[in-house]
Structure 1
Amino acid sequence: MANIKSQKKRAITNLKRNVAKAGEKTALKTAIKDVLAAVAANDKATATTALNKANSLLDRAITSHIKHGNYVARQKARLSKAVNSIQA
């Protein structure tokens, strides 16, 4: 542990942010898995709503610096392609 007061505060703040970002990462992964599960079940309505939620979380991941913009673009394209492949 650091001896300087500002560094002690920074260490505590870093732990808090780490926990918060871990929750956001988990929610993002779960949303992506929900889309893929709905696609596997051939449920277009559920897949569409899950895709909208996943897209929202992916966009938020860019602004909070959790994921890179290219990763988000690739995932959005991949999930959209999967949902559009469902035969209604």
Structure 2
Amino acid sequence: MANTPQSKKRARQNERRYEINKARRSRIRTYLRRVEEAIASGDQAAAKEALHAAEPEIMRGVTKGILHKNTAARKVSRLSSRVKSLA
């Protein structure tokens, strides 16, 4: 357990950041799930629209430190190629 005032403060900050990061991660996963569902349904228009909504959310995860930039780029690339192949 934290003993010094500094370590107590860091513990409080970590709890706050954890909650914020958890919400962001959940939001990103929701957008990814919407794209996956649209791809599964076979509707290219809906999949394209879902991907365009998900892409900025994924990249925002990079700037906020939730995802690594290469991970985000890989996810977007693979999703876009899957959406493209629906044609």
| 1:30-78 deviations in Å (ceiling 9; x for gaps) | 2111111101111122211210121111110110111111111110110
Task: Give the secondary structure class of the aligned counterpart of 1:6.
Answer: helix
- CA distance in 1: counterparts of 2:3 and 2:80, whole angstroms: 51
User: What letter matches 2:41 in structure 1?
Assistant: A
Aligned runs of 1:57-76 on 2, under 5 Å? 57-76=57-76
- Using the size of structure 2 for normalisation, the TM-score is 0.91
1:9-40 CA-to-partner distances (Å, cap 9, x unmatched) read 11011001001101111111121111111011
Distance 1:71 1:64 in 2: 14
Q: Which runs of 5+ in 1 are unaligned?
A: none
List runs of 5+ in structure 2 lacking aligned partners. Answer: none
Amino acid at match of 1:4: T
- Return the alpha-carbon distance in structure 2 between the equivalents of residues 36 and 3 of structure 1: 46
What pairs up with 1:24-63 in 2 under 5 angstroms? 24-63=24-63
Number of equivalenced pairs: 87
Match of 2:13 in 1: 13
Offset, 1:4: 1.3
Query: Taking structure 1 as the reference length, what is the TM-score of the superposition?
Result: 0.90
RMSD: 1.1
SS at match of 1:65: coil
